[in-house]
Chains A and B, each alone.
Chain A
Amino acid sequence: MASIVLSNVDKVYAGGVKAVNGLNLEIKDGEFMVLVGPSGCGKSTALRMIAGLEDISGGEISIGDRVVNHLPPKDRDIAMVFQNYALYPHMTVEENLAFGLKLRKMPKAEIQKRVNEAAKMLGLEQYLKRKPAALSGGQRQRVAMGRAIVREPQAFLMDEPLSNLDAKLRVSMRASLNQLHERLGVTTVYVTHDQVEAMTLGDRVCVLRDGFLQQVDTPQNLFDRPVNLFVAGFMGSPAMNFAYADLVRDGSGAAVSFAGFKLPVPDSTFTDKPGLDRYVGKRVILGIRPSDFEDSVAANGSSGGWARIPVTANVTEELGSEINVLFTIDAPPVEHKDTVAAAHDGDEEEVALPLTGDKSLWTARVNARSHVRPGQSLELVIDTHNLHFFDVESGLAIGHEANVGR
């Protein structure tokens, strides 16, 4: 096992397209690092550079203590799982698993032992004599995993390994991947475009956009403290709600006003986000997570620090345990380059409502006990401790430690 360090890594394709731009990333020994971003953000390219399948245009990649820039893939001691599995079709499952070990001139008994162990771990024992064509998608995926496991490499590289599976299988494979990592503790770099996968699997998650690193942090921190509008809009489903708002301070304390609503901003927010007070009296972009809403009826009582706003539900999506309430507010939609980029490649397609120019569609996630129907009015409460503020120009989160001084 080893750490993987990328320093100032560039990838320029023929024609001058820069797929990866000055990427700095340290993946610790035994860490599960997820690279996530919309398609074309350079995440797969970054992974393929670590694997040695793509040349590195600039910078340095080291695995363990070795700089591997000019090492061929076979000398990097890594194993990779591909999106389309890439099994050897003319070999049985057993031969598929053993191929990499045979090439390393491992004694037969050791090969047999490792293959059997991996097969047992992945539940492939009864399929060892079969060829890939006679396996289901999930089984092929497990063979691909097994081929990586038997090698006992320094690191696993996984390129969207679950995206060809159906939804249910993907969830169960996600859980087994988690277990597998707990058990083996091998450094893993995992590429996905699915932010749910990123949140659930990663020890840390690295968000990329157009070849630039946006933020590397634990899933919870990415969710709670996104560094900019892009990360805020990309992580979390349904996506964060945005609106232009004015930050004001009067006799009763600080508040943000937007679309005819006025939400008090608690004092603790100002201590949490240094530099926010400089925006008093100015325009900011306000962000509120759908999960920070609650139906005031269902939430009755717990209103300390919660502000109330009356809205009319346009669409409700009942998910069983909760309801997504889609409603319009009287504010023009935020059209910052970051929010547009995040929304375009977001996993979830928002319900397309015909909106007039000065309305924007927000989503609130409320408890299923709310029983709200489309067209009904309801009063939502907002947890004002979790308001997010972004600079109108740069799109950076105000008061985020990474942005101080930027």
Chain B
Amino acid sequence: MTATTRRDAAPGRPAVRRGAAPARSRMDMFGPLSHIALVIWTILVVAPIIYTFLGSFKTNTELFGGHSLALPEHFHWDAWGRAWDRSHIGRYMFNTVLIVGISTFFTMLLGSMAAYVLSRYEFIGRRWIYLLFVSGLSIPPFLALSSLYKVVQNLGLLGTHTGVVLVYVAYSLPFTVFFLAAFFRTLPDTVAEAAMIDGSSHTRTFFQIMMPMAKPGLVSITIFNVIGQWNQYLLPIVLLPGDQQDKWLITQGIANISTSAGYEADWSALFAALSMAIIPVLIVYIIFQRQIQTGLTAGAVK
């Protein structure tokens, strides 16, 4: 109220302030509120990660001895070493990076190509193919699990990384195509037409003109796929059985630390392994997140 009065008293102010004042006070009110909400959200996300990270330096006694939120006494990397060597997390990490890398690459390549064709070319059956892709979204992996096992077994790919990659790509494609098809539709047609007239083939137009314009969409969906495939637990359990331990993925390895040890579980090694699993994802997110810029088509048209 006082602010309004003071502003009214100021001479020579234009009459529009009446409209502007409520807008500003609404901003003033939502500013702190939204900041409080963001702080709470940040704590909810960051606290478990920090707890996990610190947990990797604690002993079992420290973890369960009543002061479980206290800082560890010594910052020893023993647990990290144990997780990396004895629990073969290093091996599993390598497997996971390899598989997620390959399957994300193929998901993005095939997904963006399919989405581009489905969104920009007219042909018979286009609608049906699109619907077929999208209907893949409605099948939960759990339901298809036993039949998926059979299919992969019949292909002779059970217990192989190829089998896992194929299944990952297949499960990631529906959403990728759905998302990217919508994205490609928003890009201006005339730029592709200009490229055609400039002498560019369909393939070149896609890779050199349209893909760079679709970068924000591609980056978002890449992050989505990397995180989704990295955290996949159920599918590797089914596709990479226990007798193929050297081919396991990181999620299986981490779970194994807690299950195999029975009553003498090595909790700090478990936390160390978890931290190792979290860090690469964080790095990928930070790198790609910078690439998400709006307005990449700025200047293309009009």
Query: Contacts A74-B200, A78-B197 hold; do A88 and B298 have CB atoms under 8 A apart?
Result: no
Most buried by A among B198, B199, B200, B296: B198
Contact of B298 among A85, A133, A147 (CB under 8 A): A133
User: When the two chains form their complex, are residues B196 and A72 in contact, meaning their CB atoms are under 8 A apart?
Assistant: yes
Give chain A residues whose Cβ lies under 8 Å from the Cβ of B297. 89
User: When the two chains form their complex, are residues B300 and A132 in contact, meaning their CB atoms are under 8 A apart?
Assistant: yes
Contact of A87 among B193, B200, B295, B300 (CB under 8 A): B300
Q: Tell me the bound Cα distance from A123 to B233 in angstroms.
A: 60
User: When the two chains form their complex, are residues B212 and A147 in contact, meaning their CB atoms are under 8 A apart?
Assistant: no
Interface residue tally for chain B (C-beta within 8 Å): 24
Query: Contacts A88-B300, A133-B299 hold; do A104 and B199 have CB atoms under 8 A apart?
Result: yes
Give chain A residues whose Cβ lies under 8 Å from the Cβ of B300. 85-89, 132
User: When the two chains form their complex, are residues B193 and A53 in contact, meaning their CB atoms are under 8 A apart?
Assistant: yes
Give chain A residues whose Cβ lies under 8 Å from the Cβ of B196. 52-53, 72-74
Query: Contacts A82-B193, A84-B188, A84-B190 hold; do A89 and B296 have CB atoms under 8 A apart?
Result: yes
Within 8 A of A (CB), among B132-180: none
User: When the two chains form their complex, are residues B302 and A164 in contact, meaning their CB atoms are under 8 A apart?
Assistant: yes
Q: Tell me the bound Cα distance from A147 to B300 in angstroms.
A: 13
User: When the two chains form their complex, are residues B302 and A84 in contact, meaning their CB atoms are under 8 A apart?
Assistant: yes
- A171 CB-CB contact with B under 8 Å: no
Residue of B nearest to A74 (CB): B199
User: When the two chains form their complex, are residues A89 and B302 in contact, meaning their CB atoms are under 8 A apart?
Assistant: no
- B40 CB-CB contact with A under 8 Å: no
Residue of B nearest to A85 (CB): B301
User: When the two chains form their complex, are residues B200 and A103 in contact, meaning their CB atoms are under 8 A apart?
Assistant: yes
Give chain B residues whose Cβ lies under 8 Å from the Cβ of A89. 191, 212-213, 296-300
User: When the two chains form their complex, are residues A137 and B302 in contact, meaning their CB atoms are under 8 A apart?
Assistant: yes
Query: Contacts A74-B200, A89-B213 hold; do A147 and B299 have CB atoms under 8 A apart?
Result: no
Within the complex, what minimum Cβ distance (angstroms) separates B186 from chain A? 13
Contact of A86 among B199, B298, B301 (CB under 8 A): B301
Most buried by A among B204, B295, B299, B302: B299
Residue of B nearest to A84 (CB): B301
Give chain B residues whose Cβ lies under 8 Å from the Cβ of A132. 298-300
Within the complex, what minimum Cβ distance (angstroms) separates B52 from chain A? 40
- B238 CB-CB contact with A under 8 Å: no
Q: Tell me the bound Cα distance from A134 to B300 in angstroms.
A: 11
Residue of A nearest to B190 (CB): A86
- A225 CB-CB contact with B under 8 Å: no
Q: Tell me the bound Cα distance from A104 to B302 in angstroms.
A: 27
- B209 CB-CB contact with A under 8 Å: yes
Q: Tell me the bound Cα distance from A130 to B190 in angstroms.
A: 21
- B131 CB-CB contact with A under 8 Å: no
Within the complex, what minimum Cβ distance (angstroms) separates A145 from chain B? 12
User: When the two chains form their complex, are residues A80 and B197 in contact, meaning their CB atoms are under 8 A apart?
Assistant: yes
Within 8 A of B (CB), among A124-138: 131-135, 137
Q: Tell me the bound Cα distance from A225 to B39 in angstroms.
A: 77
Which A positions have Cβ atoms within 8 angstroms of B?
Answer: 51-53, 72-74, 78-80, 82-90, 99-100, 103-104, 131-135, 137, 140, 147, 151, 164
Having A51-B197, A73-B193, one finds 13 other A-B pairs with CB under 8 Å, namely A52-B196, A82-B301, A84-B190, A85-B300, A86-B188, A88-B194, A88-B300, A89-B191, A89-B296, A100-B198, A100-B199, A104-B199, A137-B302
Which B positions have Cβ atoms within 8 angstroms of A?
Answer: 188, 190-191, 193-201, 204, 209, 212-213, 295-302
Pairs A–B under 8 Å by Cβ, sample size 18: A51-B193, A53-B196, A73-B197, A78-B197, A80-B194, A82-B194, A82-B301, A83-B190, A86-B193, A87-B301, A99-B200, A100-B197, A100-B198, A132-B299, A132-B300, A133-B299, A147-B194, A151-B198
